[in-house]
């Protein structure tokens, strides 16, 4: 199956929740594998990967940020991005990172779980 999530079709928060539901559905289906990416595969994809690790693998926010997001170029971790896309880095710092931290806090406090995604 293939599902494209076009940029701007929903808010970033709705995109993340929708993506997490897709990941959950695939995880619960036998014989299915998951591959997800975006244009560069660093920022939105890294956020989705980090949150999925927290929800489905029990990682804490710091581990998810360092091991899933930063090592793959999130924000300023990709030095080439800083040179040609300062506006992208600013948007990440001002919008995507606070969203990640907010959802990560909900996960940490048990307010956003696999069960939340089902219902």
pTM: 0.78
Check residues 53 and 3 and name the one with the higher pLDDT: 53
User: Which long-range contacts does 10-17 make (Cβ < 8 Å, 24+ apart)?
Assistant: 12/44, 12/95, 12/96, 12/99, 13/99, 13/103, 15/44, 16/47, 16/48, 16/51, 16/99, 16/103, 17/117
The more confidently predicted of residues 103 and 90 is 103
Q: For residues 16 and 99, is the Cβ–Cβ distance under 8 A?
A: yes
Domain extents in the chain: 12-117
pLDDT, tens digit (0-9, with 9 covering 90-100), for 15-72: 899 999 999 999 999 888 888 776 665 677 888 999 999 999 999 999 998 888 766 6
Say if residue 80's pLDDT is above 70: no
pLDDT 10s digits, 46-55: 889 999 999 9
Q: What is the mean pLDDT of residues 89-107?
A: 85
pLDDT exceeds 80 at position 103: yes
């Amino acid at each position: 199956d293939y599902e494209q999530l076009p940029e701007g079709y929903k808010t970033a928060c709705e995109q993340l929740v929708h993506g997490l539901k897709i990941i959950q559905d695939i995880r619960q289906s036998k014989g299915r594998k998951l591959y997800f990416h975006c244009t560069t595969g660093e920022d939105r994809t890294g956020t989705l990967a980090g949150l999925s690790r927290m929800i489905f693998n029990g990682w804490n926010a710091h581990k998810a940020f360092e091991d899933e997001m930063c090592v793959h170029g999130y924000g300023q971790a990709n030095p080439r991005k800083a040179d040609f896309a300062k506006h992208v880095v600013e948007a990440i710092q001002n919008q995507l990172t606070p969203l990640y931290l907010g959802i990560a806090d909900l996960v940490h406090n048990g307010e956003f779980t696999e069960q939340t995604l089902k219902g």
